Amino acid sequence: MTAKAKLLALLAFTTAMLFFDNLAVFAVVASGLTAVIALKGHAKLFSSWLKPMVFMFAFIIAIQYVTYPLAPYSFGAVLWGVTISLRIYVIMAAVFFFVRTTSMSRIAEAFSFLPGRLPEAMTIAIAMLPQITELSGKIITSQKARGANFRSLSLTSTYMPVLVPLFGKTLQRSEKMALAMQARGYGD
Amino acid sequence: MEIKTESLGFSYPGRSVLKDISIKIKSGDFVGITGSTGSGKTTLAYCLNGLIPHAIKGHMTGSVLVDGKDTRKKSMSELASRAGFVFQDPDWQIFSLSVHDEVAFGLRNLKMKNAEKRIKNALSMVGLDGYADEVPYNLSHGQKQKLCIASVLAMEPDAIILDEPTSQLDYRSMMNIYSILRNLNRAGKTVVVIEHDTDLIAEYAGSVIVIDKGTVVKHGKPSEVLSDKKLLGKLGIKVPEAYR
Ligand SMILES: Nc1ncnc2c1ncn2[C@@H]1O[C@H](COP(=O)(O)OP(=O)(O)OP(=O)(O)O)[C@@H](O)[C@H]1O
Ligand SMILES: [Mg+2]
């Protein structure tokens, strides 16, 4: 399959997943994708992508539990949270699969139909994913070392200490990366 | 390649950082830049290769001349091919999924010929032969630093500027990087390195620039500058073993 075809397949798949909201469908697709990733020998790397997301999923489920419009504080609310989390999981797994089976230059090629500097931007965004997951792992560890408790879910005491440095660092890093690219003649 | 600054000044929006800097770096020099944290070393280095004023916001006064030509009048890509820049943290610059692609990036931008040969040479100069297909993300910190150096060397610049290249390395990798720099310098390249470790400057550099609060307080041979215990003491810079 060419990179462009793969990218189109990924886009189609992602769009389809956004339209579904059926727990059973997600469960089947999620197990299928996970099995393929494990069979290809990427299980370890994929779990390092996932680790920081576990908190995100827990957070989503907790929020849905409280705010689910049809029936808050019910089992149905929890299921809805699980459904949304699985949707994100499934999309992540598909993106992971795409990135792991396509070389960087092929990915850049696949994006080449986009105008202006978007192809490079997309490529860098994808390239930064593993760095961002690693970084969030580091931040979580260092906040734990300062006694952060990620079992109780609260926005101020759990998520701010992780999300603020994560966004800050990521922003800083992409700024520096842009600078480093210009220092190697990119852009004019 | 000669780099000269004439009463160079620079302020980031709302913060003046460099004041009245006039220095000359001669072709083939090995220059160490040192000074305390926040004194403006990185900012000065950005000025030397044209990232300031081309890529960074702020107000620059005075001028920087590369081989007699004002950096303002040259394009960033032209300057990039003359003076390569290695950033402090390799994670800031590595974005490719293979070592080969990372080194190829600058060559592609500058549309350089014989790319494959240059990539091979550059990787072997830093001792990374055989790593072309590796994922950079899996390299050690020292190897990442070497990859960044290779990705600059492939463009065959006349000068290479490095911002604290060894600040996160163990002793052996530190020595390793410096011996690479020494070899490059002996092959005729101008090397400018920002370095906190004055022992390394004393051993490797031919001249040293000491910066404090955005101005050059001393510029000369390491044996003269770094033996000035009084000055270094005042600025909080370590006197190298060799001059104690
Ligand atoms: N993008 C920026 N915007 C505003 N101020 C900045 C910016 N970058 C640096 N500064 C400020 O400019 C001053 C000099 O910074 P610079 O990074 O050049 O110092 P340095 O000597 O390299 O320090 P270090 O040894 O910590 O790397 C510092 O006070 C810093 O806070
Ligand atoms: Mg600095």
> What domains, with CATH codes, occur in chain B?
1-82+159-244 (3.40.50.300), 88-156 (no CATH)
Residues of A in contact with B81 (CB under 8 A): 185
Contact predicate B48/B60, CB 8 Å: no
**HSE (CB half, 13 Å, CA atoms) of B75?**
10
Ligand 1 atom at minimal distance to the Cα of residue B196? 25
Long-range contacts (CB closer than 8 Å, 24 or more residues apart) made by B76-79: B76/A182, B76/A183, B76/A185, B76/A187, B76/A188, B76/B50, B76/B51, B77/A185, B77/A186, B77/A187, B77/A188, B77/B109, B77/B110, B79/B49, B79/B50, B79/B54
Mutation pick from A124, A126, A184 vs chain B, by most beta carbons of B within 10 Å, is A184
Question: Is A52 or B236 the better-scoring residue by pLDDT?
Answer: B236
pLDDT value for B211:
97
* Among B8, B18, B36, B39, residue to substitute to test ligand 1 (most atoms within 8 Å of Cβ): B39
Q: Pick the residue whose CA is nearest to atom 10 on ligand 1.
A: B12
Helix (H) or strand (E) holding A91: helix A75-100
Query: Tens of pLDDT along chain A (188 residues)?
Result: 677 888 888 888 888 888 888 888 899 999 999 998 888 888 887 887 787 788 888 888 888 888 888 888 888 889 988 998 999 899 889 888 887 777 666 777 777 788 877 777 777 777 777 677 777 777 777 777 666 666 655 556 666 777 777 777 787 887 888 888 889 888 76
ipTM above 0.90, yes or no: no
Confidence at residue B40, expressed as pLDDT on a 0 to 100 scale: 96
CA torsion A158-A55-A104-A91 (nearest 10°) is -140
Q: Are strands B215-220 and B207-212 parallel, antiparallel or unpaired?
A: antiparallel
C-alpha distances (whole Å) from B61 to each of A163, B6, B10, B162 are: 39, 9, 6, 24
Chain B residues within an 8 Å CB radius of A133:
none
Query: Smallest Cβ distance to B106: which of A177, A179, A184?
Result: A184
Q: How far apart are CA A137 and CA A53, in angstroms?
A: 10
The stretch B62-90 carries a mean pLDDT of 92
Q: Please say whether the beta carbons of B144 and A131 come within 8 A.
A: no
Q: Is B199 on the interface with A (CB under 8 A)?
A: no
B34 CB near ligand 1 (under 6 Å)? no
Ligand 2 centroid distance, CA of B61 (Å) = 20
**Percent of chain B whose pLDDT exceeds 90:** 79
For chain A, give every domain's residue range.
1-113, 114-188
Across chain B, mean pLDDT equals 93
